[in-house]
Amino acid sequence: QVQVVESGGGLVQAGGSLRLSCAASGSIFSLNRMSWYRQAPGKQRELVAAITSGGSTSYADSVKGRFTISRDNAKNTVYLQMNSLKAEDTAVYYCNLFSLLRKSEYWGRGTQVTVSS
């Protein structure tokens, strides 16, 4: 049983910052990839950022330079530092854990980020 839980969302003004956290619990293998996705109303879910257990990161072009993903492997926790937030960043942000060894995927239930302009 694996569970991922997001936290840290909220309401922020444009130009502000938020830090999202995603804590994974249960039978977590060390070799994994954790990602942040987001979904705005009426739109498809999109990949925002990803980080491997080795620390390699990738970002969507829309957030590159503003968002930073990091992780604490000991805590099985991933973070998304969001700076210079824009109204178009408003969405529900979901955490995803993909186990490379188990080849299974787990999703959190999301945390709402609302950016007012």
Task: Decide if pLDDT at 9 tops 90.
Answer: yes
Tens digits of residue pLDDT in 46-103: 999 999 988 999 999 999 999 999 999 888 899 999 999 999 999 999 999 999 888 9
Please write down the HEC assignment for all residues of 19-75: EEEEEEEECCCCCEEEEEEEECCCCCCEEEEEEECCCCEEECCCCCCCEEEEEECCC
Considering the chain, what percentage of its residues have pLDDT values greater than 70?
100
What pLDDT, on the 0 to 100 scale, is given for residue 75? 87
- 51 vs 36, 43, 55, CA distance in Å? 9, 24, 6
Considering the chain, what percentage of its residues have pLDDT values greater than 90?
85
Contact 88, 72 (CB under 8 A): no
What pLDDT, on the 0 to 100 scale, is given for residue 31? 86
